[in-house]
């Protein structure tokens, strides 16, 4: 993810770590943070007193959504407009803040500064399309944007943009002749405006599987 200097530029994979602050339940239990970020600006954390781990980026518990977006996803969007595939994967245990960071929950009424990665990516893509159309000489570029939204849960693939067909729809992962991966039967929705893409994000988010855990009452 993102850019870098020196040897890191040779890799197309970047790994970022974001530290979640203690939640209310943990404060009530008087829990202590076991992970520390001793040196500001350095992508290294300490687990306990002496176990150090280094990443490409480390975001402390006080980091803002905009900071995370600017350093990690934004360079991927730039690469996307240059014709490259871009993938952003959020990984972590339940309750670690994946949904908050990605912005893949219900974003209705969420303040702008609290929005996660996906709503910001949507706005950035449409802003870039509009800029290129406004500044281009003839012929004016034409963009056709579409999206899909799936869930992999208990080894089953669900089409979150086609919830009425959950029970009868069988989705399978396939490989195309060029070695690319796709999901056969997955609905692809045309999204000519940012509003329609955000509506698709909301629709899919509302259909995600959730369940209570010890860490999160509505884990997804």
- Residue-wise pLDDT for 132-155, tens only, equals 999 888 788 889 999 999 998 888
Question: CA 212 → CA 66, 91, 209, 219, distances in Å?
Answer: 29, 19, 11, 6
Residue 108: how many CB atoms within 10 A of its CB? 8
Residue 150: strand, helix, or coil? strand
Write the CB contacts of 46 (distance below 8 Å, at least 6 apart in sequence). Answer: 35, 36, 37, 38, 52, 53
The residues pairing with 89 across neighbouring beta strands, listed in sequence order, are none
pLDDT, tens only, 46-74: 998 889 999 999 999 999 999 999 999 99
Write the CB contacts of 17 (distance below 8 Å, at least 6 apart in sequence). Answer: 43, 45, 53, 55, 57, 58, 59
Whether the link from the prior residue into 166 is cis, omega within 30° of 0, is no
pLDDT band at 217 (very low <50, low <70, confident <90, very high): low
């Amino acid at each position: 993810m993102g850019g870098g200097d020196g040897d890191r530029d040779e890799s197309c994979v970047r790994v970022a770590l974001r530290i979640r602050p203690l939640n209310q339940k943990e404060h009530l239990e008087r829990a202590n943070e076991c992970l520390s970020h001793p040196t500001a600006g350095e992508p290294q954390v300490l687990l306990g007193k002496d176990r150090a781990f280094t990443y490409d980026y480390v975001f402390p518990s006080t980091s803002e959504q905009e900071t995370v977006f600017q350093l990690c996803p934004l360079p991927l969007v730039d690469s996307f407009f240059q014709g490259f595939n871009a993938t952003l994967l959020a990984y972590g245990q339940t309750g670690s803040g994946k949904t908050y960071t990605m912005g893949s929950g219900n974003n209705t009424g969420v303040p702008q500064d609290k929005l996660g990665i996906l709503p910001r990516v949507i706005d950035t893509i449409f802003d870039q399309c509009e800029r290129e159309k406004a500044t281009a000489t003839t012929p004016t570029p034409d963009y056709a944007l579409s999206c899909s939204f799936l869930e992999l849960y208990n080894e089953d693939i669900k089409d979150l943009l086609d919830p009425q067909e959950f029970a009868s729809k069988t989705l399978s992962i396939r490989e195309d002749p060029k070695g690319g991966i796709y999901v056969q039967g997955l609905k692809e929705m045309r999204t000519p405006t940012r509003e329609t893409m955000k509506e698709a994000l909301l629709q899919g988010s509302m259909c995600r599987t959730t369940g209570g855990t010890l860490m999160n009452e509505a884990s997804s």
